[in-house]
Amino acid sequence: MENSYVTIKEYATDEIVEKRSRFIGYVAPVTTEQEATDFINKIKQKHYDARHNVFAYVLREPAISRYSDDGEPQGTAGQPILKILEGEKLVDCVVVVTRYFGGTLLGTGGLVRAYTDATLAALKNTERRKLCLYQRMTAEYNYDFHGRFTPLVYGVEGRIGETVYQHNILAEIFVPVERVDEFRSALIDSSRGTVFAENKETIYLDN
């Protein structure tokens, strides 16, 4: 399991024109192959009259990458789109580029450039979203220790979640997985071995 990954925040689209051919790029975040397929089919239905609806997508888990040239010469359409996603290390992302033929052949190089440019144009209209892997933990401590506990969490770039104030304080915390050992050591040192953090599940959170 990777400690972090990058995807896109939201759906976006843009269009370019190359020798009177229209290339309309669409991008969307997805987490499953079914979501990717549904999005592709939605665009195909919207542009049922287009000459080509080319696509590519990359999923994080399970690790899947697929593309289709949809009738364009092999290697001139879907593969260049996939290379952009892989080059930018984007996962859980689908791209569809619709082409309306303008009457002029673009040649192999022209097609690669047009599909690349349409993809990049759409991607520019959405922000990147970086998610990092955190260890969710819980810790129980007395009120006297609270002033020292919070800086320990923030000192390892952690986050504090739900906190319950009863006879003691029960805190939910999220610590970057690569800094868990550092946090545990600091917690033991600061509390003189009286406070411990219990591991729960790991979870990806926005960075």
Calpha distance 57→86 (Å, rounded): 10
Calpha distance 35→46 (Å, rounded): 17
Last residue of a domain, one of 77, 106, 126: 126
Instruction: Find how far residue 47's CA is from the centre of its chain.
Output: 27
98 and 112 together in one domain: yes
What is the amino acid identity at position 2? Answer: E
Domain extent for 146:
131-206
Calpha distance 97→74 (Å, rounded): 15
pTM of the model: 0.87
Last residue of a domain, one of 98, 126, 154: 126
Q: How many domains does the chain have?
A: 2
Nearest to 69 by CA among 97, 29, 41: 97
Length of the chain measured in residues: 207
94 and 159 together in one domain: no
Whether the CB-CB separation of 139 and 175 falls below 8 Å is answered with: no
Retrieve residue 172's tokens: 């939910």
pLDDT in tens, the chain (207 residues): 789 999 999 999 999 999 999 999 999 999 999 999 999 999 999 999 999 999 999 999 999 999 999 999 999 999 999 999 999 999 999 999 999 998 888 999 999 999 999 999 999 999 999 999 999 999 999 999 999 999 999 999 999 999 999 999 999 999 999 999 999 999 999 999 999 999 999 999 998
116 and 138 together in one domain: no
